[in-house]
Amino acid sequence: MIWIFDMIILIFLILTAFISLRVKDLLSAAMIFGVYSLLMCLLWAGMGAVDVAFTEAAVGAGVSAVFLISTILRTSRRSSD
Amino acid sequence: MKFLGLLTVLITGFLLIQAERDFPDWGDVNSPASSYKLSQHYITQTFAETSVPNMVTAVLADYRGYDTMFETVVIFTAGIAIIGILRVFGSNIKPDHPEVVLTKKKPDLIVETTCRLLIPIIQLFALYVVAHGHHSPGGGFQGGVIFGASFILLALARDLQYAQQWVPENRILNLAGIGIFIYAGFGVASLLLGGNFLDYGVLTAIIPGDVKDAHSHSMLGVEIGVAFTVTAIMFSIYSSLSSNGHMKEGI
């Protein structure tokens, strides 16, 4: 049963990684990157690495998203790529 | 050029997927990582040697303490580097993107009240994570990040200057230095008492209890040092990023 959850999380992980690379609006890219970190945290927790999951939730999904968003608000918002 | 990039990515991906076949299965008992004698020692002897139930913290802060000390130094250096790049002194320097106008509004009542209720709980939880890091998941890094995030939330809800009343810019780097000083202090103390650097066992002379308790309590002290550094650096990175290096008004 657990592998179905793993599969769903993995599919969403690849989707969020792809979308955050492709999307033009940098603010949405930063948000989706935070979602990516949260899914990664769920995967770590599922594998039993609770300490790593904790770090991923605090650093990846929490603080680094704030850093990215505050940087985006201080620079121009749309990527030229 | 785009085609070349795609080709590189595809070839690298193909090689990685090929190499993945040689990996042992997840949780395989016969894999080198599980069958190696050192892992057996950590799993069976950690509690007997250090009386710390969470063996991840025991490996991080005790068996591999030297590693973690320099990880803390890396965070400190990263914070110094970001401040060194972004910090601007003086007020007559024009921002690079004048089209970004951040309107300064009065703090919203709902946001402010929610944050006033939330921030003490977040800080209490952060202290719990630091203090309980050797019994449950957590430790200095996570607790420090959560504690720094509570100040970031304060700066987001009110103003950067309001948050800097509690963590002023000139004190925050002292705080970061104090963290590393605490960590290295445990190492130097064990050197002075005749042991190796960060060999907590000899600290029984100054810490009450037997050798196991010395290990356990030193790990707590070391985690507190890490938490000091991480808290200070997280908030200083946020304040220099969000204020264009002026440290005056945030986003």
Give me the residue spans of the domains in chain A. 2-74
Phi, psi of B240, deg, nearest 5: -75, -30
Phi, psi of B32, deg, nearest 5: -55, -40
Domain limits, chain B? 54-242
pLDDT above 90 (res A53): yes
pLDDT above 50 (res B8): yes
- B245–A contact, CB cutoff 8 A: no
pLDDT above 90 (res A41): yes
Contact A70 B251 (CB under 8 A): yes
Q: Residue B29's CB: how many other CB atoms inside 10 A?
A: 8
- Give the mean pLDDT of chain B: 87
Burial class (CB in 10 A: 0-12, 13-18, 19+), B216: buried
In angstroms, the first-to-last Cα distance of chain B is: 38
Contact A54 B137 (CB under 8 A): yes
| Sequence-separated (6 or more) residues with CB below 8 Å from residue B48 | B212
pLDDT above 80 (res B216): yes
**pLDDT value of residue A40:** 94
Token match 């089209």: residue? B99
Phi, psi of B166, deg, nearest 5: -90, -35
B-chain CB neighbours of A51 within 8 Å are 54, 56-57, 137-139, 142
**pLDDT value of residue B106:** 72
Contact A75 B142 (CB under 8 A): no
Which residue of chain B comes nearest to A55, CA vs CA? B142
- Indicate if the alpha-carbon torsion angle B213, B216, B218, B220 is positive or negative: negative
Which residue of chain B comes nearest to A57, CA vs CA? B142
Nearest CB partner across the interface for A54, out of B100, B142, B244? B142
| Sequence-separated (6 or more) residues with CB below 8 Å from residue A21 | A29
pLDDT above 70 (res B142): yes
> Per-residue pLDDT averaged across B205-211, rounded?
86
CA distance B239 to B160: 7
Nearest CB partner across the interface for A73, out of B57, B139, B251? B251
Q: Residue B227 carries which side chain, given as an amino acid letter?
A: A
Nearest CB partner across the interface for A51, out of B102, B137, B237? B137
In tens, the pLDDT along A56-74 reads 999 988 899 999 998 888 8
pLDDT above 50 (res A49): yes
Q: How far is B146 from chain A (nearest CA, A)?
A: 7
Contact A66 B145 (CB under 8 A): no
Roughly what angle, to the nearest 10 degrees, separates helices B65-86 and B169-192? 160
pLDDT above 60 (res B95): no
Contact B244 A74 (CB under 8 A): yes
Phi, psi of B2, deg, nearest 5: -60, -40
**pLDDT value of residue B82:** 92
The residues that bridge with A25 in the sheet, in sequence order, are A78
CA distance B217 to B233: 25
Contact A76 B99 (CB under 8 A): yes
A-chain CB neighbours of B251 within 8 Å are 70, 73-74
> Per-residue pLDDT averaged across B190-210, rounded?
88
What ipTM was assigned to the predicted interfaces of this complex? 0.88
Which residue of chain B comes nearest to A51, CA vs CA? B137
pLDDT above 70 (res B97): no
| 8 Å CB contact between B241 and A66 | no
- The DSSP letter of residue A1 is -
B-chain CB neighbours of A70 within 8 Å are 238, 241-242, 250-251
CA distance B18 to B131: 44
Q: How far is A43 from chain B (nearest CA, A)?
A: 13
The structure's pTM equals 0.87
Task: Label residue B122 by pLDDT band (50, 70, 90).
Answer: very high
Token match 């925050």: residue? B172
A-chain CB neighbours of B129 within 8 Å are 54
In tens, the pLDDT along B149-187 reads 999 999 988 888 888 888 888 888 899 999 999 999 999
Contact A51 B238 (CB under 8 A): no
pLDDT above 60 (res B96): no
pLDDT above 50 (res B99): no
